[in-house]
Structure 1
């Protein structure tokens, strides 16, 4: 696939950036709908987004670079070049949530209320952003047979043919899973649940899908021979379960 969408005054505009920007815009539009479901201040949610998003990008890049530092130690200026990929969603979530926590504490708002409403927007942004990986020919899985890949649309087959070898379109698996999770989160948001339920369900459900999909990938960030994303995913699933158990026990004691 050609990672460059078009050129403006000598500057290459890459599909990767376009899909990230599109994901953010779609997320903002969706947040206008989800904030109404909970009668939450949409303008305040936008303020949180405008502060958290750039911090999340910095965090996503820093997270990736830390685990792949050998690629950058001899050319540190490349640390700032994110046009060709190299953003780790887990780092983005962690840094973005820290920024949102600081802001909501300062404004004396409840972080979980806004996190619940934002969760569907975050994951639909992830679903769209994964297509940037497709055009960069990255975040794919291991080799597959032509018979296997022939079950996918032609443009997926062509995009997953890299140096004469077909690969698992893991970006597509995750994108589809994220759309399904987004719909589930919107459904949960339309019901009455304790604050934090939707956000922690986002963490748990995304982590569940990511754990299995990560096992297929060939470019996983590694630490001590362990796929970092799978380790973080297990942590996310555990946090989700702990949250649900604690809420259930509180409910039974009331």
Structure 2
């Protein structure tokens, strides 16, 4: 864990790992998206600005939903703050999609074509952001006991980290918990970073065989949803509430989103086939 990446020499200003990772993720995604947009013949000057606006909306949307899910954690004045672990990915993606769609509609740009250009950059940004979360020690994995599946990959975090404080409150008495380090947990942030690389591979593969605008973006959103469904959500310490047996709220919402994505993909494919037949 390295929550402070380094201090600026002579000034003593600390640069937070998560803040640096988030900034780098957005910058790389911006360059990657505009590079794809330029290849596809889209207006990069307009879309470069739209990306910045949509990214800001995504941060505010992700922060707003997190604050709604954690009453008492902050008020309206905290919407534009960016603490490590204080964002919800669902709210961020939804807000960014809405702003992107509105911006493209106002400028007469094909929204799905733009989202296809953004999709690979989203995957790269996810990898960088999740590494930042690991360095900051936030959004950590659940406790994994010796002998359990995944224990060989476990990590521990030092005293002063969010996970150590969490374990001291709720898991006190475990033989694997000490005053110097947390109990062993799944390195779920690194799992998610690897997941991002897999999603990037999906984006590249689908783009090579793209039949209609939006196919890459829909495939990336589906891959992201499935990966969170089977990897990240079950292994995080703050997994969504249980509904019945192993079924969680996150599973239901993910399955619902996958159904919507499948319907949109079917409609887009039908429209493309109809256009080819003319």
TM value normalised by structure 1: 0.84
SS at match of 1:6: strand
Are the aligned partners of 1:52 and 1:99 in contact in 2 as well (CA < 8 Å)?
yes
1:106 aligned residue: 106
Structure 1 gaps of 5+ residues are none
**Match 1:180 to one of 167, 174, 198:** 198
CA distance in 1, matches of 2:242, 2:73: 15
Structure 2 gaps of 5+ residues are 165-180
SS at match of 2:155: helix
**Match 2:214 to one of 196, 215, 239:** 196
1:13–1:229 distance in 2 versus 1, CA, 3 Å: farther
SS at match of 2:41: coil
**Match 2:260 to one of 225, 229, 239:** 239
RMSD of equivalent CA atoms: 2.9
Moved more, 235-244 or 45-54: 235-244
SS at match of 1:115: helix
**Match 1:215 to one of 227, 234, 250:** 234
CA distance in 2, matches of 1:164, 1:56: 32
**Match 2:40 to one of 38, 44, 55:** 38
1:7–1:19 distance in 2 versus 1, CA, 3 Å: same
CA distance in 1, matches of 2:214, 2:107: 19
SS at match of 1:138: coil
2:177 aligned residue: none
Q: Comparing both structures, which one devotes a greater share of its residues to helix? A: 1
TM value normalised by structure 2: 0.78
1:141 aligned residue: 141
1:7–1:133 distance in 2 versus 1, CA, 3 Å: same
- Give the C-alpha shift of residue 42 in structure 1: 2.6
1:119–1:72 distance in 2 versus 1, CA, 3 Å: same
- Give the C-alpha shift of residue 220 in structure 1: 3.4
- Give the C-alpha shift of residue 46 in structure 1: 1.0
- Larger relative contact order (C-alpha < 8 A, sep ≥ 6)? 1
Are the aligned partners of 2:130 and 2:189 in contact in 1 as well (CA < 8 Å)?
yes
Are the aligned partners of 1:211 and 1:229 in contact in 2 as well (CA < 8 Å)?
yes
Q: Aligned pairs, how many?
A: 249
SS at match of 1:85: coil
1:114–1:157 distance in 2 versus 1, CA, 3 Å: same
SS at match of 1:105: helix
CA distance in 1, matches of 2:72, 2:192: 28
CA distance in 1, matches of 2:271, 2:44: 30
Which of 1 and 2 has greater Rg?
A: 2
Moved more, 45-54 or 33-42: 33-42
Are the aligned partners of 2:55 and 2:96 in contact in 1 as well (CA < 8 Å)?
yes
Moved more, 171-180 or 243-252: 243-252
